[in-house]
Amino acid sequence: MKLWQKGKETESSVEKFTVGEDRKLDLQLAASDVLGSLAHTRMLESIGLLDKDELLKIQIELKNIYKEVEEGNFKIDENVEDVHSQVEWLLTQKIGEAGKKIHSGRSRNDQILVDLKLFFRGQIRQIVDRTEILFNQLISQSEEYKDKLLPGYTHFQIAMPSSFGLWFGAYAESLADDMELMLAAWKICNKNPLGSAAGYGSSLPLNRNLTTELLGFDSLNYNVIYAQMGRGKTERVVAQAMSAVAATLAKLATDVCIFNNQNFAFVSFPDELTTGSSIMPHKKNPDVFELIRSRCNKIQALPNEISMMITNLPSGYHRDLQLLKENLFPAFESLNECLIMCAFMLKNIRINAEILKDEKYAYLFSVDAVNKEVLKGVPFREAYKNVARLIEEDNFIKPATLEHTHEGSIGNLCNAQITSEFYKTLQSFTFAKVENAIKALIAK
């Protein structure tokens, strides 16, 4: 069944090529499609295009289909093109003529737009929830290990003293910034395109504000052409936000792989969380973090992939846009899995608290020695030369204490402030409003 079919059968090879992976991917949109139809049909009744009895039958059956989706029993038949066709066909089979009326005032174009935005909202919430878990893990470990020092590096050369508290906290603050980008993606996803039809609106007296309210959107995509132009742009913005989180995880994973190396030995993991070699009995490989790094690097390529697919497309719908699902949908699952595994692995990390006892790290404290002279009134350039001379003559003695007290330094991590910023951003997501609207929409 095809919503656009007028009588002639499509040649099988053309159908196979154009449908592609849609049946499989559209299963992930089934719940969103039903929600969109629940809101749309209530709006149709409000403007007199459905009577109350028709609406009641439609709503009851749509909620039954929604239950099937939630229980994992919904499927798209082989002879059905997509999720939109399947839902309408099921309705028509169950309730007859009333099922044929639900497409009034909409096109598959705005139907897929609203499906995607509802789906993206759910995926963003999952990412935010799992990022929150990882964020709190990092902050907790930053506090736990704030007094445990490790070397800081620039150019991969021993540079200045750092700490595990500083290291864990850095990635927590990075996630806080990543959530700012995710919030921007949420705001773009949380605008209602339903009623834009094929991109030019409708001559029917649609009430787009009503469907906006019913679906928990914050506002409309007002201009109907722009609503269609949002396809591709929305995916790219979501991918960019995901890419930011992925970049944080990839960098963290690389640090862990280096720190876990025997030449560094800054961190380690229980044997059961590492893998071995088929030939070298001593090996304990950080495979989880290597895969997190690679998966997240793939996700960082996603915004560019999407940009290349939509570059130079004019306004209006084009079938090119169908393929965006094939790139983006698997990335949601992958990023969520990376967030889960990263938090799990860090929960079990073991840190080496004795790193700086090795004399090769003595020069980490050269800047501290310079600053001690500066505090005594010696000009910085003179103090720098004095300490450099001591190092060259092998007479340098590292300071006995560290005096890093300014905001964000080893002795003043500002974790409370970072946490405050993180949660200020999270509170700007209108998750509760969306959840309440959807609960009301599917209530019996």
Q: What is the pLDDT of residues 27-71, one digit of tens each?
A: 999 999 999 999 999 999 999 999 999 999 999 999 999 999 999
Q: What is the pLDDT of residue 79?
A: 83
**Whole-structure pTM value:** 0.93
Percent of the chain with pLDDT over 70: 95
- Confidence band for 401, pLDDT divided at 50, 70 and 90: confident
pLDDT higher than 70, residue 406? yes
- 37, 163, 203, 277: the catalytic one is 277
CATH superfamily of 12-101: Fumarase/aspartase (N-terminal domain) (1.10.275.10)
Active site residue 277: yes
List every span in the chain annotated with CATH 1.10.275.10. 12-101
| Domain 108-150+161-202+223-357+414-442: assigned CATH number | 1.20.200.10
Q: Please state which of the ranges 74-88, 234-248, 287-301 shows the lowest mean pLDDT.
A: 74-88
Active site residue 155: yes
Q: What are phi and psi of 163, to 5 degrees?
A: -150, 160
Q: What is the pLDDT of residue 407?
A: 96
Q: What is the pLDDT of residue 9?
A: 65
Handedness of CA 231, 236, 237, 238 (dihedral sign): positive
- Confidence band for 4, pLDDT divided at 50, 70 and 90: very low
The predicted-structure confidence for 234-269, as pLDDT tens digits, reads as follows 999 999 999 999 999 999 999 999 999 999 999 999
- 12, 13, 155, 282: the catalytic one is 155
List every span in the chain annotated with CATH 1.20.200.10. 108-150+161-202+223-357+414-442
